[in-house]
């Protein structure tokens, strides 16, 4: 819990004490707007979690928190806020003293939208969102923790709240032993590995820094008379043990306990834990797993959901007490795994448990719930899907040229993010222009970057996309008299799947065959993302003719490896 005075906590319980909200909005050009109370319309809100699924407990998890505020700014273009920063603070008037303020968090403004002529809704993500950037094709080597932290800070544009030594201390390890031999796929995965190793989680703290934390007992009780809703399990939950699977698929468990209801928690292929390929690695690996297990063994709490008067000083990972407990008896432990708060509204906190293998309903009305009644195996899964794009580096010119292209599908309206990084080498002083398209429609994004003759320049951005249910295409175009030497482009989001090419047959093409070489001259099919067969008419598909797709409406094409020429 954020350090506050006893007077602050007492003032929260009394609805007669006036509460305040303050927003500092920093535009990407550095312009600062400070808004308070009535200048913020509706009720500013945030949500944050230290578990990916509110109903299932696991360690080493991470979550991108969000915030939303509505501001009244007539005459202001909403797009000026995109890429800017939102800071929220909460204050309570203390009787006989001044207002006591606490920071709530720092968020990147990802989706500003005009609601009416004078109202703009700012939707934001916290700094965890920046970690979705790929680590790139970095050569493997001996990588120390400090070097990895520096790399992630520079690559993702984030700051860490702790030093390498402080993180190693959390993991009960010597800092020189916190090392690995290769980079993970993304910065998100790098941070996740460290959070697993400490037996805790990682989150964006109130200053916007990435912080590693273990679950922590806090001396705080929510009184029964201040609750607005409650649903608790009759069973306490605890961690029975840890199961680890290395990169070779070998699995071992440690610290199994047979007391009470709980779970054996599993995770896999962590670069900081040696694989079981040598006897000394086996001993060292088990030692690390034991330390993770020891950091979780003492935890005990009751799963459930509670809504109450609200205390924004509480943090995810806090273990507090719920007065009245189960059937009105005693105080029960409650781990804050999910926290949703809205100004001047009740705060909802959720304590995770495990997937159900049995049910135990309470007779206490509002205190009913369910929990696992035997060991449940829980597997860490990645909730966010990344779709990599086809990349087209090479020479650029004044007109737009497609630099990256990809597709995905979703089952419902989905918020996802387009990430693009391009390395330019200019022929002469000019301006590179980068644009994004969703289903052929230009988005509210035009990045202009000044290039200087003979110099390398990097253009990088993350842009939010709102996609309806169905299949979508995304493309990035670039222009400017230069050479695009390297590209990284992908879309990431929850509940999205990669759009696979649709196989086509020889009947879908017009082609010629000469000396065993097939030349595609026209596409006759109806699939919008076709896969060209590698054999046409008995000849290897080698050349794509100049007008092969001129008359079609395709959104992309999968070209076989044997093609050596595209006219």
Q: Can you give the pLDDT at residue 356?
A: 37
Q: Can you give the pLDDT at residue 371?
A: 27
| 89 and 14 fall within a common domain | yes
| 443 and 537 fall within a common domain | no
In total, how many domains does the chain have?
3
Please check whether residue 164 lies inside any domain of the structure.
no
Averaged over 305-327, what is the pLDDT? Answer: 86
Averaged over 208-237, what is the pLDDT? Answer: 86
| 438 and 546 fall within a common domain | no
Mean pLDDT (the chain, rounded): 82
Taking alpha carbons only, the member of 496, 474, 384 closest to residue 420 is: 474
Do 346 and 309 form a contact (C-beta atoms < 8 A)? Answer: yes
Averaged over 530-557, what is the pLDDT? Answer: 86
Please check whether residue 319 lies inside any domain of the structure.
no
Taking alpha carbons only, the member of 320, 344, 307, 309 closest to residue 90 is: 344
Q: What is the pLDDT of residues 351-377, one digit of tens each?
A: 998 643 322 222 222 222 222 223 333
Asked if the model's pLDDT at residue 244 lies above 90, the reply is no
Whole-angstrom Cα distance, residue 462 to residue 407? Answer: 17
Q: Can you give the pLDDT at residue 419?
A: 83
Asked if the model's pLDDT at residue 501 lies above 60, the reply is yes
Q: What is the pLDDT of residues 162-209, one digit of tens each?
A: 999 999 999 988 888 888 888 888 999 999 999 999 999 999 999 999
Whole-angstrom Cα distance, residue 144 to residue 140? Answer: 12
Q: Can you give the pLDDT at residue 160?
A: 96
Last residue of one domain, picked from the residues 449, 466, 498: 498
Q: Provide the token pair at 378.
A: 């829980």
Last residue of one domain, picked from the residues 498, 526, 554: 498
Q: How confident is the model at residue 76 (pLDDT cuts 50, 70, 90)?
A: confident
Please check whether residue 296 lies inside any domain of the structure.
no
Averaged over 226-238, what is the pLDDT? Answer: 78
**What percent of the chain is modeled with pLDDT above 70?**
89
Whole-angstrom Cα distance, residue 277 to residue 243? Answer: 17
| 388 and 467 fall within a common domain | yes
Residue 208 CB neighbours (<10 A): 20
Q: Which of 23-37, 138-152, 383-397 has the highest mean pLDDT?
A: 23-37
Asked if the model's pLDDT at residue 315 lies above 90, the reply is yes
Residue reference for tokens 């679950």: 215
Q: Can you give the pLDDT at residue 154?
A: 92
| 10 and 126 fall within a common domain | yes
Whole-angstrom Cα distance, residue 541 to residue 151? Answer: 43
What 3-state class would DSSP assign to 399? coil
Whole-angstrom Cα distance, residue 93 to residue 78? Answer: 33
Q: Can you give the pLDDT at residue 362?
A: 22
Taking alpha carbons only, the member of 416, 398, 399 closest to residue 407 is: 416
| 11 and 123 fall within a common domain | yes
Which secondary-structure segment (H or E) carries 19? Answer: strand 19-26
Please check whether residue 346 lies inside any domain of the structure.
no
CATH number at residue 86: 2.30.110
What 3-state class would DSSP assign to 7? helix
Please check whether residue 415 lies inside any domain of the structure.
yes
Residues in the chain: 567
| 433 and 535 fall within a common domain | no
Q: Can you give the pLDDT at residue 325?
A: 64
Beta bridge partners of 117: none
Last residue of one domain, picked from the residues 498, 527, 544: 498
E-assigned strand segments in 332-429: 332-335, 338-342, 347-351, 376-379, 384-388, 390-391, 394-395, 401-410, 414-426
| 15 and 67 fall within a common domain | yes
Range of the domain at 93: 6-130
Residue reference for tokens 């989680």: 201
DSSP class per residue in 300-317: -B--EEEEES--TT--TT
| Phi, psi (degrees; rounded to nearest 5) at 213 | -145, 145
Least confident interval from 183-192, 336-345, 528-537, 549-558: 549-558
Please check whether residue 344 lies inside any domain of the structure.
no
| 465 and 482 fall within a common domain | yes
Q: How confident is the model at residue 495 (pLDDT cuts 50, 70, 90)?
A: low
| 436 and 474 fall within a common domain | yes
Q: Can you give the pLDDT at residue 127?
A: 94
Please check whether residue 117 lies inside any domain of the structure.
yes
Residue 216: partners with Cβ closer than 8 Å, 6 or more residues away:
317, 318, 319
Least confident interval from 154-168, 215-229, 238-252, 254-268: 254-268
Q: How confident is the model at residue 381 (pLDDT cuts 50, 70, 90)?
A: very low
Whole-angstrom Cα distance, residue 324 to residue 166? Answer: 38
Do 57 and 336 form a contact (C-beta atoms < 8 A)? Answer: no
| 22 and 112 fall within a common domain | yes
| 508 and 488 fall within a common domain | no
50 Ramachandran zone, left/alpha/beta (phi>0; psi -120 to 50): alpha
321-351 burial, b at 16+ Cβ within 10 Å, e below that, comes to bbebbbeeeeebbbbbbbbbbbbeebbbbbb
Least confident interval from 18-27, 94-103, 497-506, 513-522: 497-506
Q: Can you give the pLDDT at residue 36?
A: 85
Q: Can you give the pLDDT at residue 270?
A: 87
Q: Can you give the pLDDT at residue 363?
A: 22
CATH number at residue 401: 2.60.120.40
Please check whether residue 90 lies inside any domain of the structure.
yes
Alpha-carbon torsion 212, 217, 220, 225, what sign? positive
Q: How confident is the model at residue 225 (pLDDT cuts 50, 70, 90)?
A: confident
Q: Can you give the pLDDT at residue 407?
A: 85
Q: How confident is the model at residue 436 (pLDDT cuts 50, 70, 90)?
A: very high
Residue 234: partners with Cβ closer than 8 Å, 6 or more residues away:
326, 360, 361, 362, 367, 369, 371
């Amino acid at each position: 819990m954020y350090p506050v005075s006893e007077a602050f906590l007492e003032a929260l319980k009394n609805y007669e004490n006036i509460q305040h909200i303050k927003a500092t909005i920093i535009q990407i050009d550095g312009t600062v707007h400070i808004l308070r109370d009535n200048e913020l319309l509706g009720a500013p809100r945030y949500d944050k979690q230290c578990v990916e699924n509110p109903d299932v407990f696991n360690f080493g998890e991470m979550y991108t928190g969000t915030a939303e505020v509505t501001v009244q700014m007539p005459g202001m273009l909403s797009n000026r806020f995109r890429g800017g920063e939102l800071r929220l603070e909460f204050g309570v008037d203390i009787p006989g003293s001044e207002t006591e303020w606490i920071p709530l968090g720092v968020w990147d403004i990802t989706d500003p939208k005009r609601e009416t002529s004078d109202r703009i809704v700012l939707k934001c993500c916290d700094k965890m969102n920046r970690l979705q950037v790929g680590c790139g094709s970095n050569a493997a080597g001996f990588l120390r923790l400090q070097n990895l932290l520096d790399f992630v800070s520079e690559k993702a544009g984030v700051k860490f709240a702790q030093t390498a030594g402080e993180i190693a201390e959390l993991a009960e390890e010597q800092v020189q032993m916190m090392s690995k031999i290769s980079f993970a796929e993304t910065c998100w995965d790098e941070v996740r590995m460290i959070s697993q190793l400490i037996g805790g989680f990682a989150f964006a703290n109130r200053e916007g820094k990435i912080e590693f934390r273990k679950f922590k007992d806090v001396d705080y009780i929510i009184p029964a008379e201040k609750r607005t809703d409650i649903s608790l399990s009759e069973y306490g939950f605890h961690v029975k043990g840890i199961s680890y699977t290395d990169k070779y698929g070998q699995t071992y468990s440690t610290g199994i306990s047979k007391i009470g209801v709980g779970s054996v928690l599993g995770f896999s292929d962590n670069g900081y834990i040696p694989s079981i390929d040598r006897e000394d690695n086996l001993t060292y690996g088990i030692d690390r797993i034991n330390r993770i297990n020891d950091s979780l063994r003492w935890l005990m709490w009751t799963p459930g959901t509670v809504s109450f008067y609200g205390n924004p000083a509480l943090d995810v990972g806090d273990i507090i007490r719920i007065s009245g407990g189960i059937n009105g008896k005693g105080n029960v432990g409650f781990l804050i795994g999910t926290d949703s708060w809205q100004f001047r509204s009740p705060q909802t906190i959720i304590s995770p448990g495990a997937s159900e293998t049995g049910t135990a309903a309470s007779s206490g009305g509002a205190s009913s719930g369910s929990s696992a009644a035997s060991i449940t195996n829980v597997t860490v899964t990645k909730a966010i899907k990344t779709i990599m794009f086809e990349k087209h580096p090479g020479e650029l010119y004044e007109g737009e040229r497609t630099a990256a292209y990809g597709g995905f599908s979703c089952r419902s309206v989905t918020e996802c993010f387009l990430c693009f990084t391009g390395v330019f080498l200019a022929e002469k002083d000019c301006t590179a222009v980068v644009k994004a398209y969703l289903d052929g429609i230009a988005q509210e994004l035009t990045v202009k970057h000044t290039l200087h003759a003979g110099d390398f320049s990097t253009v990088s951005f993350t842009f939010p996309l709102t996609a309806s249910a169905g299949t979508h295409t995304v493309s990035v175009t670039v222009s400017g008299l230069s050479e695009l030497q390297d590209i990284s482009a992908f879309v990431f989001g929850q509940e999205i799947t990669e759009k696979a090419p649709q196989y086509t047959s020889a009947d879908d093409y017009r082609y010629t065959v000469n000396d065993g070489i097939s030349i595609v001259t026209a596409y006759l099919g109806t699939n919008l993302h076709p896969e060209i067969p590698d054999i046409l008419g008995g000849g290897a598909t080698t050349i794509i003719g100049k007008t092969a797709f001129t008359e079609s409406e395709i959104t992309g094409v999968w070209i076989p490896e044997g093609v050596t020429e595209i006219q």
